[in-house]
Amino acid sequence: MTQQHPMAGGPDHAGAPETRRFDFAAMDGAARYRLLASTIMPRPIAWVTTCAPDGTVNAAPYSFFNFFGADRPVLAIGALARPGREKDTAANIRATGEFVVNLVSFALAEAMNATCVEAPPEVDELALAGLAAAPSHAVAPPRIAASPAAFECRVMRLLDTGPGQLLVVGEILHAHYAERVLRGPPERPRVAAAALDLVGRMHGASAYVRTRDVFHLERPVWPAPAGAAQAASPDAGGGAQTAAAPGR
């Protein structure tokens, strides 16, 4: 059998559109990162505030981020170490077990970007970016006052998933929402996606997306009601858009 380059092209099997297979075991980490980070997107951005053991506040964006349940409210973020040194966020979370995830609106995108600078641990990136901090309720790290939504978290699990790779699984203890993004009665609040105006991370080092290009798909039911057609419809108003049923 001839030796193939790991990025060699060619159809995988007859009849399928031409694809290219990448043998991840034969590639280096940087090449795998380039592919994955430009494909698994858009990614929501966790703007994570932590405290060092001496109380120094740290803020940095992390787009390896999502939530993984609500019956126990769980979210996770992934930190990749710099050569030879763990990121401050990861080190602070290991040391204190606490962090706050602040979400990033379009209006805050530039300030978020300012806090991704590779500053030494003693630098408070919130002060650097001219951002005000607001006290949290149950954890030491403050939240970012201007963020439209913030989640106070306590570590549930720390998973070292590879060299310099830390997956932080946290339980959300408290959520803070700006009143201006909430709709509906106090006993059944809904979040107005358009008012949140969040941004997501895209490919490469500098590409982002706004979350305004919304369309809707009705979920199919089984058996399908007679004559029902499933069609995509664009988002009409951009108001409080929440599914009628819990979205699972």
Ligand X SMILES: Cc1cc2nc3c(=O)[nH]c(=O)nc-3n(C[C@H](O)[C@H](O)[C@H](O)COP(=O)(O)O)c2cc1C
Q: How far is the CB of 183 from ligand X (least distance, A)?
A: 28
Collapsed DSSP state (helix, strand, coil) of residue 89: helix
Name the residue type at position 156. M
Residue 78 touches ligand X, criterion: CB under 6 A: yes
Q: Which residue, 115 or 136, has its beta carbon nearer to ligand X?
A: 115
Residue 122 touches ligand X, criterion: CB under 6 A: no
- Both tokens of 112, joined, read 């978020």
Q: How far is the CB of 43 from ligand X (least distance, A)?
A: 8
Collapsed DSSP state (helix, strand, coil) of residue 102: strand
Residue 99 touches ligand X, criterion: CB under 6 A: no
Q: Which candidate, 216, 223, 212, places its Cα nearest to that of 242?
A: 216
Q: Which residue, 204 or 220, has its beta carbon nearer to ligand X?
A: 204
Which residue of 31, 114, 116, 169 would you call a contact of ligand X, by CB under 6 A? 116
Residue 105 touches ligand X, criterion: CB under 6 A: no
Task: Give the single-character DSSP code of 34.
Answer: H
What residues have CB less than 8 Å from 86, skipping those under 6 apart? 79, 94, 164, 166
Q: Tell me the window of 14-22, 57-65, 182-190, 224-232 that interacts with ligand X (CB under 6 A).
A: 57-65
Phi-psi region of 50 (alpha: psi -120 to 50; beta: other; left: phi over 0): beta
Which residue of 61, 141, 142, 170 would you call a contact of ligand X, by CB under 6 A? 61
Residue 88 touches ligand X, criterion: CB under 6 A: yes
Which residue of 62, 75, 100, 108 would you call a contact of ligand X, by CB under 6 A? 62
Q: Which residue, 79 or 101, has its beta carbon nearer to ligand X?
A: 79
Which residue of 87, 98, 140, 181 would you call a contact of ligand X, by CB under 6 A? 87
| CA 58 – CA 202 distance, rounded (Å) | 24
Residue 142 touches ligand X, criterion: CB under 6 A: no
| CA 7 – CA 68 distance, rounded (Å) | 33
Which residue of 44, 76, 89, 150 would you call a contact of ligand X, by CB under 6 A? 89
| CA 219 – CA 160 distance, rounded (Å) | 37
Residue 90 burial by Cβ neighbours in a 10 Å radius (0-12, 13-18, 19+)? buried
Kindly list the residues in this chain that would bind ligand X in the complex (CB under 6 A). Answer: 45, 58, 60-64, 78-80, 87-89, 113, 116, 118, 201
